[in-house]
Structure 1
Amino acid sequence: MDLKNLISNDEKSAPNMSRTNSQQRMSIHDLMNSDDGGIRQRTSITNLTNDLDVDMNGNKTMTRSRRMSSATSSDADASSTRSRNSSFQDHVKPLEELKENKEPKATGGTRKPRRYAEKPVWAKDYVPTVRKSVRKPVLTTVATKLSVASITGSIPRNDFNKVVTEWIWANVEGVRHEYAALGPVDKYLELELKMGHIWDKVKDKRLRLPVNCETILNVDFFQNECFFRSGVPAQQFHDLKAYIAKLAQEKNHNRGNRFVVENSHCVDLIAHERKRNEKPSTGRVSVDVKTKRRMASVHKQRVADLVMYLPNSLYDIRLSMSLELPYEMNDAAFESFQQRVELRRDKERVSYTHPATFTKIDMTKVKENGAVKHEVELELDVGELLRSMAKVAEDPLYYIDLVQAFLDNGRIISRQLSIQD
């Protein structure tokens, strides 16, 4: 029997499959339960084909599947409408805010990228250790296979660095006190490491001490028994120059670890000045060889020296602090100064400045009194040194690390000079 024969003629004639309560409906149950004209239960195959169903009372209703489909469709239509409205609002709202000269709020819509007053953390350049303004507390530990660095969990300062940092601090404060009447003269200080030999006055050769590691000589012993002879042989000088030039070329690919190279050629005119009740000072005028112009005019006065003996290296180091006070010199004063000149030093210099450690390495070929010398010295940026001292209360390790980096640079240069082919 065809399924269509089970559906009433009214059903077949209705194109939208809808009926009224007065219409008669035939189903499979009518054939199965012919003795009962009432419809007790409806679970037939027509449930899948008819739009309308009947309840237990015989009233016609929409089928369950149709009801669910209709509800889902209605929800989908409502959701689609809300989505379209939300999307429209997301695009319109930033435009309305721009009209009111307001910054668009963070919505799902499109907007112009926000400009930062300060770089966010993820966009900041990497800052080297020496440059950090906020550092670890005084008691620090390092990466080690041990669970703690020591019985106290901290690393005690070694005597070598302690002597150097305290020596620098004491002499800077001494200059400030001595020249208080002239104002802040500490910015004219010069702190440099120079390569050479500690020379024994009696044996007339490099000093030999019964020690196995670097040490700082007692000041009285050094002044009575020794003197410092600066300079290095020409071959070691050129080898070191090639080494630093190669190092600078390699490091310049890294912006935070680059070198700045400068060349200069000048003549230093030097005259010693001694006045009653005043410390002896040296007047120095530097004249550029090419332009013949005066580059600088200073009164230089040595503040103090600290001599470091390096038994495992061919060269020792002298740490010197000097005060170089500039002074103006007109043409007449310069003519008078030239008549008092005692020494002329022709200097061809290549300077390698390493901003990351605030160190400048000067490689200088010097001609004086008919002889040629080769000098190697390192100079610390005094401006940064003074800033580290000013911030020592809030950042005590920066001053120590700055001096440590300067000393380490000196060790590297001394050991490189000691390499023998």
Structure 2
Amino acid sequence: MNVGSILNNDSPPNTTQGEKNSEPQDNGFHRHSLVNLLNGPDNDAEAKTNEQEPAKSSKQPERQESVSSSDNNDGRTNDKSQSEPLDGKKHDNETEERPSQDAAKAQTKKEEDDELARISKLNSTKKPRRYSVPPIWAQEWKAPNQMFTEQTNQEVATNLSNNPVFDRTSTVSVDLECSITGVIPPPSLTRTIAEWIYANFTEIPTSQRKYVELELKFGTIMDKSTGNRIDVNVSTECVYRDASGVYFDMGVHEVGWGDMCHFLDELEKKYQDELRKNHFQNSNKPKRKFNVLESDITDSFYQITNRNEQPKSIRVSKDNTLNPPRYLAINKQRLSHLFIHNPSSMYDMRLSLSYENPIPESSIDSIIKKNTPSLIRLKKRTSYTHTPTVTRFDMTKVQLPRESKSKGGKKILEQDQSNEVELEIDVNELFSGFDKVKNGVDSIRFEELVEIFMNNARCLNNRVTKLANR
């Protein structure tokens, strides 16, 4: 009696006293798996055939044993008394068991037919459920960078909060501490960027600090061999160090650029609303969240080569809002740059450290008259300066004049447009934090400034990434 017999409401076969010492019989009761129930009569019958074969093989050892005993009875080693009863008569069990075996086989055949009919009916009335879309536990996880390149039919939603879990001193849960030291360790990426800036600052003379610029630009790290965005099999933000095989494609899409500008304007509006509601409590706060400045500038780039000097790249900027226009010129010298790859966001970033050495105004006229610009850029920029986070956001629309010829040979002047997002940190504050670390006064200030600066960039990147996922 097995579980299949109990579930099928079948009763065990009748046994007699004479069948106790008989061989194991096939009584027709077999286990039925879910596969056999669903596959129908053909597969079920095949399964029964496979189940009967081991039963036949189990009988073979007894036959071999009887043959070996008969072989031993020809007088070589074994005694007759071991194979025959004391009265000299053989048991006639085989003749007594034949009627009972025939009856059992007939009963088994009838039960098999009834069971096959029942399974066939079940198989024809109910099919196994098939999913048009796999359940969530059966779906393959995909990194966010793959979601941007592959079109998926499902929206992947998460319930993670945008609010930070910890602050520097406590947690939301009163019975928890933020760490064993009471201070949250800095993120590894922030520490890496801070160490990179610190190492470069040690090589800058004090007299040159006022000419240093540290800027973060949005764009895409492109693979030179494929012409596509790099894919290094990571899913989180990281520093990309192999700069030999890549280049940085600076700029963002127009829709994303507009949404970033709208995001900054929303923050300003929200700040003004809170200021009006709590006028008396916030009387000491600034009247505006951002100091906004708009500019219209034309940049002309010149390659100047003097005897016994290295070639210089001079940028002459013309302020188009003034009449007569005002010209400023600088010699920009790149010191170092760092690629930051963020596959979970729309854009990567490049952190650049440069000298911006001013050119005397008396030399600007001669540079313009004696040289031809290699590149001209028309920039319409809106700058948002946020003093509490020592960051300036430069949102720039760029036009590049380009000449082409028509079929008739006439020159046609066209404009290539692009959109740029650039963040600059207050270098004076950063050098102040650098000196505190160097002198052993404050080991946290410098790294906090770097983390705040990077957090501002992530806020913009997250905003435009959320727009792309809609």
**Structure 1 stretches lacking a partner, 5+ long:** 1-139, 177-182
Deviation of 1:276 (Å):
7.9
Which secondary structure does the structure 1 equivalent of 2:449 belong to? Answer: helix
- Residue deviations 1:84-110, cap 9 Å, x none? xxxxxxxxxxxxxxxxxxxxxxxxxxx
Q: Secondary structure at the match of 1:396?
A: coil
* Contact preservation (8 Å) 1:191, 1:380: yes
**Pairwise CA distance, 1:356:** 0.7
Q: Per the alignment, do residues 242 and 258 of structure 1 end up closer, same or farther by CA in structure 2, a change over 3 Å counting? A: same
Alignment partner, residue 332 of structure 2: 300
Matched, 1:159 2:179: no
| Counterpart position of 1:135 | none
Q: Which residue of 1 aligns with 2:219?
A: 196
> How far off its partner does 1:188 sit?
0.9
Match of 1:236 among 239, 242, 256: 256
1:390 aligns with one of 435, 456, 463? 435
**Amino acid of the residue matched to residue 143 of structure 1?**
T
Q: CA deviation at 1:214?
A: 0.5
User: Which segment drifts farther, 154-163 or 303-312?
Assistant: 154-163
The 5 A counterparts of 1:340-355 are 340-355=372-387
1:400 partnered with 2:423: no
The answer for the alignment partner of 1:321 in structure 2 is 353
Equivalent of 2:426 in 376, 381, 384? 381
Shift of 1:166: 1.0
1:375 counterpart letter in structure 2: E
Contact 1:269 1:344 in 2 (8 A): yes
Cα distance in structure 1, aligned partners of 2:317 and 2:399? 14
Bigger Rg, which one: 1
Pair 1:150-2:179 in alignment: yes
Structure 2 equivalent of residue 185 of structure 1: 208
Matched-pair contact (CA < 8 Å) for 2:393–2:424: yes
Structure 1 residues 278 and 412: CA distance shift in structure 2, 3 A? farther
Question: How do residues 9-408 of structure 1 correspond to structure 2 at under 5 angstroms?
Answer: 141-143=169-171, 145=173, 147-176=176-205, 184-218=207-241, 221-222=242-243, 224-252=244-272, 253=275, 255=285, 258-273=289-304, 281-291=312-322, 292-330=324-362, 333-336=365-368, 339-369=371-401, 370-392=415-437, 393-408=440-455
Please report how far the alpha carbon of residue 346 of structure 1 lies from its aligned counterpart in structure 2 after TM superposition: 0.6
Given that 2:211 and 2:357 are in contact with CA atoms closer than 8 Å, whether structure 1 keeps it comes out as yes
Q: What amino acid is aligned across from residue 213 of structure 2 in structure 1? A: E
Whether the 8 Å CA contact 2:171–2:177 is kept in 1: the answer is no
1:133-184, Cα deviation, whole Å (9 max, x unpaired): xxxxxxx6443535433344443333211111111111122232xxxxxx61
Structure 1 residues 330 and 416: CA distance shift in structure 2, 3 A: same
Identity %: 33
The residue matched to 1:206 in structure 2 has which SS? coil
RMSD: 2.3
Task: Kindly indicate whether the alpha-carbon contact (under 8 Å) linking 1:309 and 1:317 is maintained by their aligned counterparts in 2.
Answer: yes
Aligned residue type for 2:256: Q
Q: Which amino acid aligns with 1:374?
A: N
| Structure 2 unpaired stretches of 5+ | 1-167, 276-281, 402-414
Is 1:300–1:324's contact at 8 Å kept on the other side of the alignment? yes
Distance 1:336 1:351 in 2: 28
CA distance 1:206–1:330, shift in 2 (3 Å): same
Output the CA distance in 1 between the equivalents of 2:236 and 2:268: 29
Structure 1-normalised TM-score? 0.60
Q: Is the 8 A contact 1:280 1:301 kept in 2?
A: no
Segment of structure 1 superposing worse, 376-385 or 277-286: 277-286
1:80 equivalent in structure 2 = none
- Paired with 1:141 and 1:202, the residues of 2 have a C-alpha distance of 48
Residue of structure 1 in register with 2:164 after alignment: none
Instruction: Assess, with a 3 A threshold, how the Cα gap between structure 1 residues 188 and 335 changes in structure 2: closer, same or farther.
Output: closer
Q: Shift in Å at residue 294 of structure 1?
A: 2.6
Aligned with 1:391: secondary structure?
A: helix
The question of 1:410 aligning with 2:453 is answered no
The CA distance in 1 between the partners of 2:390 and 2:360, in whole Å, is 28
Match of 2:394, SS?
strand
Measured in 1, the distance between the counterparts of 2:171 and 2:268 equals 29
Query: Conserved in 1, the CA contact under 8 Å of 2:376 and 2:400?
Result: yes
Query: Deviation of residue 277 (structure 1)?
Result: 8.0
- What amino acid maps onto 2:177 in structure 1? V
Alpha-carbon distance in structure 1 between the residues aligned to 2:270 and 2:368: 48
Residue 302 of structure 2 contacts residue 371 of structure 2 at CA under 8 Å; is this kept in 1? no
